[in-house]
């Protein structure tokens, strides 16, 4: 039975690794303090950057500051933050993703259902130099944002988006946290750690759900250099490699289900629409946009198959976590 008066306690973890995002980080922290639902804790984890940590200690108040105790990278920093959380829910926010005032309120509302393990929200890109004409919204996953083709209303999904996500704390504890073999390390654009942890959590909790709530909004800063064709190709290649790593842990079917639907449905419509706009003369960038869709798909697939070949004959990543991931840690309700 749903309890509409239920509101769990929630803490926010923000991970940062560079002083270059200082002004963005300050705005992110302010946006958390301005929430309609006040968090129990605001934890800022500094990922192996002593200068940034010292500057934060001298400047920022009303947050818990800590240096990452894990391996360098986003997954290690997130796990450090989770280890300090005392609330029922832990929400994650990127250091360049500013939260809407109702963000936490709308994320946590869905935890009135005990079968919900994780809730993620919409990540809207804020382009520093305006959206490039070749960069269609179907490709916004490249810059860590929600893309066209994702649900428009609260829906069950395979995984949440890393820049705007929350979990029951017990879930992350039971599955052993984020896989430190995955995830961004500095400027190296690897990822998929949130995909892998969501899959492992769902495997271990029969009947459970991961939910996407688009009304829980954050706005993600996108610098000019991430709108270039070169960055698109680098990120697509890395996405393919990352998905290959995830499939090694959780299996190919679980790792690629939504991607198959995306390739069969979302991308063909996007290519057709872009070419139609170009032919009609309504959008001179339509041809470039269509070419970008095809190039991203090709490079991502190439990265995936390259990752599969590299993984052949090697031990599975995070081998110690695989048995737990394949065995229920919570009985079906």
Q: Count Cα atoms within 13 angstroms, Cβ side, for 99.
A: 35
Q: Count Cα atoms within 13 angstroms, Cβ side, for 230.
A: 2
Query: For position 23, what pLDDT does the model report?
Result: 97
CA angle 212, 218, 223 (to 5 degrees): 120
Q: Mind listing the pLDDT tens digit for each residue in 43-74? A: 999 999 999 999 999 999 999 999 999 999 89
The answer to whether the beta carbons of residues 60 and 44 sit under 8 Å apart is yes
Query: For position 325, what pLDDT does the model report?
Result: 45
Q: How far apart are CA 72 and CA 62, in angstroms?
A: 25
Residue 7's pLDDT band (boundaries 50, 70, 90)? confident
> Which among 10, 215, 214 is positioned nearest to 111, based on CA atoms?
10
Q: How far apart are CA 143 and CA 150, in angstroms?
A: 15
The string of DSSP letters for 85-126 reads: --SSEEEEEETTEEEPTTHHHHHHGGGGSTTEEEEEEEEEEE
Q: How far apart are CA 82 and CA 283, in angstroms?
A: 46
Query: For position 95, what pLDDT does the model report?
Result: 96
Q: How far apart are CA 142 and CA 24, in angstroms?
A: 20
Q: How far apart are CA 219 and CA 206, in angstroms?
A: 33
Q: Mind listing the pLDDT tens digit for each residue in 82-113? A: 999 999 999 999 999 999 999 999 999 999 99
**β 10-16/97-99 pair status:** unpaired
What percent of the chain shows pLDDT beyond 90? 72
Least confident range from 139-153, 193-207, 251-265: namely 251-265
Q: How far apart are CA 301 and CA 236, in angstroms?
A: 8
3 state DSSP class of 155: strand
Q: Token pair of 104, please?
A: 């936490």
CA angle 320, 324, 329 (to 5 degrees): 155
Q: How far apart are CA 237 and CA 178, in angstroms?
A: 22
Strand-pair partners of 124: 219
> Which among 185, 196, 112, 128 is positioned nearest to 160, based on CA atoms?
196
Looking at every residue in the chain, the average pLDDT score rounds to 88
Q: How far apart are CA 202 and CA 175, in angstroms?
A: 10
Residue 324's pLDDT band (boundaries 50, 70, 90)? very low
Helix (H) or strand (E) holding 15: strand 10-16
Q: How far apart are CA 169 and CA 82, in angstroms?
A: 7
In the predicted structure, residue 254 carries a pLDDT above the cut 80: no
CA distances to 112, 118, 154, 157 from 1, rounded to whole Å, are: 9, 18, 19, 22
Strand-pair partners of 16: 46
Delineate the domains of the chain, giving CATH numbers in brackets: 12-325 (3.90.550.10)
Q: How far apart are CA 237 and CA 290, in angstroms?
A: 18
Q: How far apart are CA 244 and CA 38, in angstroms?
A: 39
């Amino acid at each position: 039975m749903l309890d509409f008066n239920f509101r769990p306690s929630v803490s926010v973890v923000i991970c940062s690794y560079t002083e270059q995002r200082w002004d963005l980080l300050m705005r992110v922290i302010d946006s958390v303090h301005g929430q309609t639902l006040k968090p129990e804790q605001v934890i800022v984890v500094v990922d192996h950057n002593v200068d940034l940590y010292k500057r934060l200690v001298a400047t920022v108040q009303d947050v818990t500051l800590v240096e990452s105790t894990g391996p360098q990278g986003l997954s290690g920093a997130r796990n450090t933050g989770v280890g300090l959380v005392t609330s029922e829910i832990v929400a994650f926010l990127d250091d360049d993703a500013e939260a809407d005032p109702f963000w936490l309120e709308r994320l946590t509302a869905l935890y009135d259902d005990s079968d919900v393990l994780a809730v993620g929200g919409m990540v809207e890109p804020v382009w520093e130099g305006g959206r490039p004409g070749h960069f269609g919204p179907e490709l916004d996953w490249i810059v860590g944002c929600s893309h066209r083709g994702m649900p428009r209303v609260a829906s069950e999904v395979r995984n949440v988006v890393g820049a705007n996500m929350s979990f029951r704390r017990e879930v992350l504890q039971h599955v052993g946290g984020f896989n430190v073999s995955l995830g961004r390390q500095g400027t190296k654009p690897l990822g998929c750690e949130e995909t892998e942890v969501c899959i492992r959590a769902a495997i271990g909790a029969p009947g459970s759900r991961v939910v996407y709530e688009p009304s829980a909004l954050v706005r993600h800063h996108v610098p000019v250099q991430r709108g270039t064709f070169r960055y698109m190709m680098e990120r697509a290649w890395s996405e393919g490699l990352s998905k290959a790593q995830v499939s090694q842990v959780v299996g190919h079917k679980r790792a690629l289900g939504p991607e198959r639907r995306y390739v069969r449905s979302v991308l063909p419509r996007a290519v057709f629409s872009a070419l139609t706009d170009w032919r009609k003369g309504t959008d001179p960038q339509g041809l470039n946009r269509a070419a970008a869709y095809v190039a991203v798909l090709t490079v991502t697939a190439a990265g995936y198959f390259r990752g599969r070949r590299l993984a052949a004959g090697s031990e599975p990543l995070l081998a110690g976590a695989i048995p737990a991931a394949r065995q229920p840690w919570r009985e079906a309700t």
